[in-house]
Amino acid sequence: MVKIGIVPTQVDDMKESVSLAYPEAVLAAGGLPVLFPVSHEETRLALLLSQVDGLLLTGGGDVEPALYGEERLPVCGEASPERDAMEFPLLRMALARKMPVLAICRGMQVLCAALGGTLYQDLPTQFSAEISHSRMDRPADPIHPVRLLAGTKLAVIIGTDTLDVNTRHHQGAKTLPDCLIPSAVAPDGLVEGIELTEYPFAVGVQWHPESMQARYPLHRKIFDAFIRACEASAAQGLTD
């Protein structure tokens, strides 16, 4: 059974916790979830990564705008400096190791920003109010569809042209670095899925499939594909 390192969803006074939906989704797909403790030391982060086969970046608070070269606006929400300081170097280390990565909501934003992209600090004021993307009243129900872009890894995983998703975020990807391509787009044009080109498996989604996978099998496919990629990577490491 492959081990999946999961970053905390919440950090308070250096005490970490994670929404149970993430480890439950990993277990349902055949992986063993491992909650990472908060650390900012690269040697410890490298040690943590050496014990797992895949990295799961979770949802949570906003990314600090300075990390993608912008000044903080009044509409930006509360950032998580403890998570920022851990997740940016952790992600870069995982990518350097060719480790499979699944990045969800804030995790997708970290994937974008860490590789040179930028974010909308607040979608209603900076992008569009056509769709209410922050639907906290229905966290596990489909709210709007996304169009899956043909030929992308995500489209192949899901096996359909569209997917109904939940939505509970007020930020999103604004510009993508050259190494990332869009894989899913909301009806208002917001990029809701990204993936790293020329890489075995690094997929980001803006919605929360971990909250939907128990009732909606198409969302379970995302975790199934992630775990299969981790198994393939682990097997390759054993044979190299």
CA distances from 136 to 9, 88, 133, 157 (A): 16, 27, 9, 27
Distance CA 115, CA 184 (A): 19
Distance CA 93, CA 206 (A): 22
What residues are labeled active site? 105, 208, 210
Amino acid letter, 89: P
Between the two ends of the chain, the Cα-to-Cα distance in Å is 19
State the number of CA atoms in the 13 A half-sphere of 29 facing the CB. Answer: 30
